[in-house]
Amino acid sequence: MTADAWVTLAVILATLALLVTERVPPSVAMFGAVVVLLLLRVIEPEQALSGFANEAPFTVAALYVMSGALEATGATAPLMSLFGTGKGVRRSLLRVTGGAGLASSVMANTTVVASFAPVVSSWARRRGLSPSRFLMPLSFAALLGGLVTAIGTSTNITVSGLLQASGQKALGFFEVTWVGLPVAVIGLGVLVLTAPLLLRRRRDVFEEARDESKQFTVEMIVTEGPLGGRSVEDAGLRHLQGVFLVQVERGGNAITPVAPDEILQVHDRLLFAGDVNMIVDLQTMRGLESAESHHFDFGDGGLEHLFFEAVIGAESPLAGQTLKSADFRGKYGAAVVAIHRAGEAIHAKLGEVVLRPGDVLLILSHPGFRTQWAKTSDFLVIAPVGGTSPVRTSKAWLVYLLLAAFIVVSGAGLMSLLEAALLVVLLMVALRVISPREARRFVDINIVILIAASFGLGEAAQRSGLAETLAQGLVSMTAALGPTGALAGIFIGTAILTAMISNNAAAVLMFPIGMAAAAEAGFDMRAAAMAVLVAASTDFLTPIGYQTNTMVLGMGGYRFTDFARLGFPLTLVTFVVSLVVIPLVWR
């Protein structure tokens, strides 16, 4: 290999290490890698910035706005209404996954899961079912549905942009359907059949809150009033329904267990654990106030606040920080009163807990908290405790009309995906379906930067000769199986990278290797592109390879191994169907 190839390999390995350890957001890691390669003269400025001149990141941004409009206007409600009509677990699973898969074919799958997950959870609880039986299948169905059209996932758009950058035609709207639809249909069937057998029942954050060893916790302060100078029992804190007093902190000393005759003093800090709804009721008890309440100022109207459930994502600036170092209270005007990690409540000083992707926070804030932060990268999901926020539905019909026009125009090839998407976004703003400010909030800028920056890394791998060298090794390893073996190697390599890092990063890293392998083995380069696309869009094995999996990790109380248990059959089916269909369509 050349010196530039060795340098590129070293930079890629360092980037992979940063992505796997989640020390910095993926967009920062990818952009930093491109800057390093630029400074080392491996690539020129026009190559480093090639992604910012490509259609892909701007198409993804426009699609985020369209998906946000669908959610904001409640246009997904007809699909959500399917959840309550199934009899039996498998029939209900079929309706949930079918609705999610259908929605994901025309809107971003991250938006589908963010919109549907709170609804599915509430629906399951009302029927005495564990949300864990449905949330992971919901995520997997959204991934499968995203394969049906060229706009189903940001990865599809990224691969389309990479094809354009390599001098080939961009993906047609329904081009990916040839392989995506069979994978989606067969995958959904396998999912519905195997989920009840392979997916263990897990206790979600609300169920965990009813278990004394796995509770939500909240800290209250004894104020001037009726409780100071009274015993715990006399104060009525001994036999609270669904809540128990864990500890009293006085002058820096912890008193635990708390005896019934312990005399309470003003400024005592009381740690309670129990059912989330009961903990909410503690806020109204005279003589107690939340340890966090002094961080809120709602004016003369008094203290008006709600509890929200929020999920941390890999792109969140909160990941890797503590609440204290992130100045959570100051930045968000909110306080975290509980943290859950994989279904387990964290019993520690919350301000000192290092947050990780997938953590679920119970947040106390003003009613506008969800509206203010829902469309940022800070949180993957924000759901009010006790229900979902109302949406405006008067313009839903207009969103349906514009989306249908977008599909027809782009599907017929009258406009490119970018042109059609930008036109629809312009019409949505002009017709006041959404405001310009909402349009800006709907865009996940970190994903856009990640996609744009990653093109430079792909250019370095290709121009330095690293991609060709790795492709030759891949083809030689699979020589006995011919082109099919090379295609399988591309798929497996992409799937492994996706499980380790993220979908878009894996697609960009594997694309030049796939192109070089196709040239070396003598088969259609679009076949290699499709293998990369499908493998990068369908991570069923880990909760970190795709954002939708991270969303449901904490909400469903899942363990890391739950994804591999249910995801392995789906991965195997996706692999086999892809290897059968791709060579038939793209010879």
Quick: pLDDT tens for 292-350.
543 333 333 333 456 788 888 777 888 888 888 888 877 887 777 778 776 566 766 77
Q: Smallest Cα–Cα separation from 425: which of 82, 60, 143, 55?
A: 60
Residue linked to tokens 């590129």: 8
Q: Smallest Cα–Cα separation from 410: which of 399, 401, 423, 398?
A: 423
SS3 of residue 306 by DSSP: strand
Residue 349, in any domain of the structure: yes
Last residue of a domain, one of 321, 355, 384: 384
- The answer, yes or no, to whether residue 559 has pLDDT greater than 60, is yes
Give CA separation, 295 vs 234, 289, 327, 332, 333, in Å: 30, 12, 12, 10, 7
Quick: pLDDT tens for 23-70.
777 788 888 989 999 999 888 888 888 888 888 888 888 888 887 787
| Same domain membership, residue 336 and residue 291 | no
Q: Residue 113: pLDDT band by 50, 70, 90 thresholds? A: confident
| Same domain membership, residue 274 and residue 311 | no
Tokens of 252: 């820096």
Tokens of 123: 């629906």
Tell me, what DSSP letter sits at residue 296?
-
Last residue of a domain, one of 295, 320, 344: 295
Residue 244, in any domain of the structure: yes
| Same domain membership, residue 377 and residue 314 | yes
Crossing angle of the two packed helices 503-521 and 26-39, in degrees rounded to 10:
50
As beta bridge partners, residue 311 has 360, 381
Residue 150, in any domain of the structure: no
Q: What is the DSSP code string of 467-506? A: HHHHHHHHHHHTGGGHHHHHHHHHHHHHHHHHHHS-HHHH
Mean pLDDT of 396-403: 84
6-15, 115-124, 199-208, 557-566: which has the highest mean pLDDT?
6-15
Question: How far is residue 322's CA from residue 341's CA, in Å, rounded to a whole number?
Answer: 14
SS3 of residue 299 by DSSP: helix
Residue 50, in any domain of the structure: no
Quick: pLDDT tens for 216-263.
567 788 988 888 889 988 888 876 665 777 788 888 888 877 888 899
Residue linked to tokens 């009721």: 281
SS3 of residue 445 by DSSP: helix
Question: How far is residue 111's CA from residue 548's CA, in Å, rounded to a whole number?
Answer: 9
Give CA separation, 129 vs 50, 122, 133, 192, 193, in Å: 50, 10, 8, 16, 18
| Same domain membership, residue 222 and residue 280 | yes
Residue 273, in any domain of the structure: yes
- The answer, yes or no, to whether residue 427 has pLDDT greater than 80, is yes
Q: Smallest Cα–Cα separation from 507: which of 522, 490, 524?
A: 490
Q: What is the CATH number of the domain that holds 324?
A: 3.30.70.1450
Length of the chain: 587
- The answer, yes or no, to whether residue 179 has pLDDT greater than 90, is yes
Residue 105, in any domain of the structure: no
Return the pLDDT at 192: 92
Whether the link from the prior residue into 257 is cis, omega within 30° of 0, is yes
H-state helical runs in 22-54 = 26-39, 45-48
Query: What is the tally of structural domains in the chain?
Result: 2
| Same domain membership, residue 291 and residue 226 | yes
* Dihedral of alpha carbons 275, 335, 115, 448, sign: negative
Domain housing 232 = 207-295
Contact 320, 354 (CB under 8 A): yes
| Same domain membership, residue 320 and residue 282 | no
Residue 94, in any domain of the structure: no
Residue 143, in any domain of the structure: no
Quick: pLDDT tens for 187-227.
999 999 999 998 877 765 555 544 433 345 677 889 888 88
Residues above pLDDT 70, as percent of the chain: 86
Last residue of a domain, one of 236, 266, 295: 295
